[in-house]
Structure 1
Amino acid sequence: MAHRIITQVVFTGARILGKAVRESYQHAAATQKYAAATQKTGGVGFASNNITMEEACKILNVGPSKMGQIDLEFVTERFKRLFDLNDPKKGGSFYLQSKILRARERIEREVQSYQRMAERERELSEGFKPKITKD
C-alpha cells in the first residue's frame, strides 16, 4: 500500500515538473523570437523600445511633440538637471536616471526622424538636382 502512494507522489511530481519545464521553455522561445524581430526592425533591444513619446515628455516635463517641434536645448537642460538630481552618489536612484536617459534618447530619435522626413520632403519638392563636375 505504501509503495502505491510513493509511486503516485513521484509520478504526480514528475508531471508537474514536466509541465513547468515545458512552459518555461515556451516562454523563453517566445522571448527570443521577439528579441530577434525587434533587432531586425532596427530596435536596440527591450529597454529602449518600450517607452512612448508621451511618457518621455512626461518624464522630462516637456510639452508634447507636434511634428517634431521640440526645443532640444530645453530637453537637454531638463535632462542634465534631472540626471544630476538622481545621481546615486548623491542619494538618487539609478533606475530613475536610466528612465531619464531613455526619455531623452526617445525624444531625440523622434526629432531626428521628423528632420529626416522634412529633408526628404524638401528634396522631393525641389526635385533631384545632381551636382555635375567638369573634369
Structure 2
Amino acid sequence: MAKYVAQIIVLGAQVVGRAFTRAVKYEYAVSQQAAKKAGGGKEGAKSAATNSIMGMTLQEAQQILHVSKLDKELIQKNYDHLFKVNDKAKGGSFYLQSKIVRAKERIEYELGETAAQNGGPQKSINNGRKSTSSQQSTKDTTSSS
C-alpha cells in the first residue's frame, strides 16, 4: 500500500513540475515578445515606464474607448458616450467609469508626447468632468494668490 501512495506522490510531483516548467517558459516567451514590441533599448524602457506610471498600455486604453487610431474627435465622442452610459446615477459602474477616465488620460498623455516630439503645441482634450471640492479649493487658493 505504501508503495502505491509513494508512486502517486511521485507522479503528482512530476505533473506539477512539468506544468510549472511550461508556465515559466511561456511567461519568458511572452516577456521577450513584449520587449521586442516595446522597441527595446531606451525607447522600450521609456514605454515600460510610461505604462507603469499611467497604469495601462496605450493599446488597452484604445480598446476601452473603442478607437483604433488617435483621433481626438472620435476619442472625445466615445469617452462622452461611455462615461454617460456608466454613470452610477443611471445604474452604471463607478469602476468602469474610472477605467474610461484613465484610458482617456493615457491617450491624452500619448497625444501630448507625440505633439512634443513633432514640435507642435500640447493640447489636452477637455474631458467635461465636474471638478470635485478638493479641485475647486485648489483653484480658489491659486486664484486668490
Q: Normalising by the residue count of structure 2, what TM-score does the alignment of the two structures yield?
A: 0.46
Larger radius of gyration: 1
Query: TM-score, normalised to structure 1's length?
Result: 0.49
**Higher relative contact order structure (alpha carbons within 8 Å, sequence separation ≥ 6):** 1
